């Protein structure tokens, strides 16, 4: 009888939705509107983007940092429900060799929507003629049987709930 109850608890937990927070204050855009086909055609996975008004980038989810790219333009994570993802800062920013980014986390760090991931020098991106879009992409949604739902907000503040991930 206890085993049956524990099994029910586990299934109930697996079906709980994971909230997605805005990692920065700005304008929410659908990933299909990002001006890079790798993201807009969902080659890496589904997600969303924000055109930032602020330089402080926070985690969009609860989880763990799995990687910090050497060029500091992207931070990998795994959510508490096992979905892998990435916060990608700007477009075509690899060739800037990390100059516009100050990373505030390390691999293995536990993160929440209150965790500052990085600072982005938006003026430098503009000077270098680079898009400043902050892209959140989930790379294994299909394998994890997860789907994204968005609330349809346009202007968001850091920490606003912008959607949910659910089975």
DSSP string of 95-152, one letter each residue? GGTTTTEEE---TT-EE-TT-EEEEE-HHHHHHTT----EEEEES-TTTTT-EEEE--
Helix (H) or strand (E) holding 26: strand 26-30
73 is catalytic: no
Size (the chain), residues: 167
* H/E segment holding residue 18: strand 18-21
Task: Considering the candidates 88, 120, 141, 146, report the single residue annotated as catalytic.
Answer: 88
Strands (E), 46-91: 46-52, 56-58, 63-68, 74-79, 84-89
Catalytic residues: 88
């Amino acid at each position: 009888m206890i085993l049956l109850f524990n099994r029910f608890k586990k299934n109930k937990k697996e079906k709980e939705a994971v909230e997605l927070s805005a990692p920065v204050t700005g304008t929410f855009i659908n990933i299909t509107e990002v001006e890079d086909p790798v993201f807009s055609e969902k080659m890496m996975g589904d997600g969303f983007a924000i055109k930032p008004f602020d330089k402080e980038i926070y985690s969009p989810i609860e989880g763990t940092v799995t990687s910090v790219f050497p060029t500091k333009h992207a931070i990998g994570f795994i959510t508490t429900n096992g979905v892998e993802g990435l916060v990608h800062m700007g477009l075509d920013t690899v060739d800037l060799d990390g100059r516009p980014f100050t990373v505030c986390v390390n691999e293995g760090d536990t993160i929440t929507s209150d965790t500052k991931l990085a600072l982005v020098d938006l003026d430098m991106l503009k000077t270098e003629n680079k898009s400043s879009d902050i892209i959140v992409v989930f790379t294994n949604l299909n394998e994890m049987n997860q789907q994204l739902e968005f609330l349809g907000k346009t202007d968001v503040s850091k920490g606003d709930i912008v959607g949910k991930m659910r089975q």
